[in-house]
Amino acid sequence: MLTVVYCITRQHDLRLVALSAVICALGCFVTASLMSQARLRMRALLFAAVVFGSSVWALHFVAMLAFLPSADSAYDLSLTAASIGVAIAGSLAAFALWRRHANNPIALAGAGLMLGSAIAAMHYLGVAAMQASALVFLDPTFVGASILLSIVFSIVALARACDLRSFARRAEVTLWLAAAICGLHFTGMTAVTLAPSDLAEGAGDVIGTSTLALVVGFVSLSILITGLITLLVQQHLSLRAVHDLARMRLLGDLAHEVLFIHRAGIVLEVNSAGARLIGRPIEALIGCKVVDLFAVHDTPALIRRMACRSEDLQSQEFEARTAAGSLVPVELSCRSIEYGGKPAVAVSLRDLTERKRDEARIRHLALHDALTELPNRYLLGQRLTKALDAAAQGTGGVAVIYIDLDRFKLVNDLHGHAAGDSLLVRASQRMLAELQPVDTLARIGGDEFVAVLADAPTPDLVSEIAARLVATMAQPFQIEGRQVEVGASAGVAMYPTDGRTTEALMRAADTALYRVKDEGRGAVRFFEPAMDAQLQARRQMEHELSLAIERGELHLFYQPIVNGGTGEIETFEALIRWRHPERGLISPAEFIPLAERSDLIVQIGAWVIDAACAAAVGWPQAWRVSVNVSPIQLRQSDVPGAVAATLVRHELDPARLVVEITESVFIQDEAAAVVVLTKLRELGVRVALDDFGSGYSSLSYLQRFKFDKIKIDQTFVRRLGEHTDTLTIVRAIVNLGHNLGMQVTVEGVETAEQLAILRGLGCNQMQGYLFGRPAPVPMASEEDQLHIRSMFDAPLIRAVA
């Protein structure tokens, strides 16, 4: 160390040393500034290598001029020229490696090694050029030390150059680069001992000290001017670019979605949402390959996409890969933009995790009973059909056991709905314990269960299993510390004797169950053809229903549907009633299924649309009227035609009519249903999806037809206060509806507590006894309306799951 200091202070002209330091420092700063742009522009990298190589070279030769023992030296021209070439080429190679693999420590060390070697090669070629006028002796220890110093400082400089956005960091890198050059030069010069000699005979072209001073002066001046211009241009550009970039980053960071810009598959910019999603800092993402941010199996699709024009591409689903290795479903869309004066592609990624989770939850819901988690009626139908198909191919019989709990209603009335619900859960667990994993147990109604035994059961075995199911229900239950006793009845139907189709078997088992109930419950009955007498009774009712329209026994009741934010009445739902001469008022739940089975529904449905439109025209305010249309009616008659004619006949604005249909409309022929619903929509009529979440169907139809609104089934509302899961499900449905651009209505709001919870979820509309029961004429006096609105005055409480 002392020897080096001695060499600098005693053997050098200090004024020239200072000049060389200034040139070197300026050259290194320009280099660092250009490197800060090199990530984006290849040209900047080339420029940086030229400036850096020249700086090394200029420092070397200015310092040589300052080196007193060489005052009258002459230099070999070709070696002198080669030395600047080596410096530029070596640093270009080092910078290129640094630019490509900035995140890889081994590559970075390699780049530092190259840079240090380039500086050393330049220096010792320069020293060799002095052979022209002097004998040069080198001390190997100092030579080794000088090269080592240069490499170490170069590695540090390149490692610290990973983020050169701040001035302080550029200044720091300038120092490391200057240290690499100066460290090598002055330690290297300490190694040199000169013995002057005459110019060798026949020596090649040489260059004298004064010419060298001129060349060096010219190169130094070039560095100075380049430095100044670079700084000025950069300051101008960066001010603008920094503003633009800052504005863009701010906008990008405000966005919820991941945004990034890439060119030729290399990331140029990314917002903080991107850093959060991938789990790596923004600096680490810039310069990455786009395909490295996605699942490996997405690579071919991404490459295909990048080959197309962004404008021609629709958004597409991919899986983003986080730093931790997990995959996140995203929707990718892109657009061509200009970035840094050149074409690039802006990409946005929408995180689909929530949506997928909601969809999975709702899909599960569509096939299972939310309370007991047992398969619902739809899944039961699918399983039974499959079992019957297998049986038809000769692999055995199938049995259907229809089970109904006895005295369940009493439990509900005496102990409350919560006790009733936990009884149903426990009952289903007990029954499952009696069945084999291949069997299916489904809950298809309040206290109705169906077991399907598909493993070729014999009548004896079926009888034994059914008896066990009934017996296990007869054992008392402990619910909320109380002993509760119910019981069960079961009706059995066997394939193929009692029926060959799902419907026939279910009906036969149901008929057998009716017989058990008639006979006093708590037993098992197999279906017998004689039981069809009961069916006769049903036929009688069908006949009476067919005359009901003519006899004027059908009536419409109206129930208000209010705005979820203000309580303003917006719509009245028309609900049908049958005033039977002997049996009194009959609920639609009882006779609509009957009408659907006998095609009477077409006639009744047309009557409902007509009566509802006629009534709405005469209302004092322009409330909407909502009518229920049965899936069978929609399939079997020209509902759009009938609706269009009715609207014209009564001169009712189509926008005032809402048609409610249930999900089951999509079961048989989804495409045909979409056609009919689209026709209705084209009339200007609104289309609502009723009883959403109560069963059936995949959710695919929601993408094929956009409903104006969905009505969440009232069973969810009923369980709101009791099961936290229900709140999560309702929130998921509301979010899904809103995401798909549909309004969401909740049905069955009965208590202020339910209202408070539902208001927090942001439902658009509400319906329920709390606001008004169905009544023969719309219940809507001024006081009524005022009363409903006042329920929405209380401050809104955000619901928590």
Positions in the binding site for ligand C2E (CB under 6 A) = 559, 575-576, 587-589, 592, 605, 608, 628, 630, 660, 690-691, 714, 747-750, 767-769, 774
Q: How far is the CB of 592 from ligand C2E (least distance, A)?
A: 5
Q: How far is the CB of 714 from ligand C2E (least distance, A)?
A: 6
Q: How far is the CB of 418 from ligand C2E (least distance, A)?
A: 16
Binding mask 737-776 for Mg ion (x = CB under 5 A): ----------x-----------------------------
Q: Are 325 and 78 in contact (CB under 8 A)?
A: no
**Distance separating alpha carbons of residues 317 and 332, to the nearest angstrom:** 6
| E strand spans, 581-685 | 584-586, 624-628, 657-662
Residue with Cβ nearer ligand C2E (375 or 605): 605
Q: Does 690 contact Mg ion by CB under 5 A?
A: yes
Residue with Cβ nearer ligand C2E (258 or 742): 742
Q: How far is the CB of 576 from ligand C2E (least distance, A)?
A: 4
Q: How far is the CB of 369 from ligand C2E (least distance, A)?
A: 18
Q: How far is the CB of 651 from Mg ion (least distance, A)?
A: 25
- Binding residues for Mg ion restricted to 652-671, rule: CB under 5 A: 660
Find which of ligand C2E, Mg ion, none residue 760 binds, CB within 5 to 8 Å per kind: none
Find which of Mg ion, ligand C2E, none residue 767 binds, CB within 5 to 8 Å per kind: ligand C2E
**Distance separating alpha carbons of residues 290 and 305, to the nearest angstrom:** 12
**Distance separating alpha carbons of residues 61 and 58, to the nearest angstrom:** 5
* Structure-token pair, residue 233: 């241009």
Q: Rounded to the nearest 5°, which phi and psi values hold at 259?
A: -125, 135
Find which of ligand C2E, Mg ion, none residue 774 binds, CB within 5 to 8 Å per kind: ligand C2E
**Distance separating alpha carbons of residues 775 and 81, to the nearest angstrom:** 103
**Distance separating alpha carbons of residues 214 and 669, to the nearest angstrom:** 91
Q: By rule CB under 5 A, what count of residues binds Mg ion?
A: 5
* Structure-token pair, residue 377: 């009626």
Give the containing element (helix H, strand E) for 263.
strand 258-263
Find which of Mg ion, ligand C2E, none residue 750 binds, CB within 5 to 8 Å per kind: ligand C2E
Q: What pairing do the DSSP bridges indicate for beta strands 258-263 and 342-351?
A: antiparallel
Residue with Cβ nearer ligand C2E (164 or 575): 575
Residue with Cβ nearer Mg ion (212 or 365): 365
- The closest residue (CB) to ligand C2E is 768
Find which of Mg ion, ligand C2E, none residue 494 binds, CB within 5 to 8 Å per kind: none
Residue with Cβ nearer ligand C2E (119 or 689): 689
C-alpha to C-alpha distances, 543 to 553, 590, 595, nearest whole angstrom? 13, 15, 10
Residue with Cβ nearer Mg ion (596 or 660): 660
Residue with Cβ nearer ligand C2E (516 or 643): 643
Q: How far is the CB of 621 from ligand C2E (least distance, A)?
A: 21
**Distance separating alpha carbons of residues 540 and 543, to the nearest angstrom:** 5
Collapsed DSSP state (helix, strand, coil) of residue 393: coil
Binds Mg ion by CB under 5 A, chosen from 37, 154, 559, 628: 628
Residue with Cβ nearer ligand C2E (116 or 748): 748
* Site stretch for Mg ion (CB under 5 A), options 270-278, 377-385, 628-636, 637-645: 628-636
Binds Mg ion by CB under 5 A, chosen from 691, 693, 696, 759: 691
**Distance separating alpha carbons of residues 669 and 100, to the nearest angstrom:** 56
Q: What does the longest C-alpha to C-alpha distance in the chain come to?
A: 138
Residue whose C-alpha is closest to residue 763's, from 786, 785, 793, 792: 792
- The answer to whether the Cα torsion of 440, 444, 445, 451 is positive or negative is negative
How many CB atoms neighbour CB 249 within 10 A?
17
Dihedral Cα 567, 573, 579, 585, nearest 10 deg: -50
Q: How far is the CB of 612 from ligand C2E (least distance, A)?
A: 8
How many CB atoms neighbour CB 757 within 10 A?
21
Find which of Mg ion, ligand C2E, none residue 588 binds, CB within 5 to 8 Å per kind: ligand C2E
Q: Which amino acid is at 372?
A: T
Instruction: Return the bridge partners of 686, or none.
Output: 658
Binding site for Mg ion (CB under 5 A): 628, 660, 690-691, 747
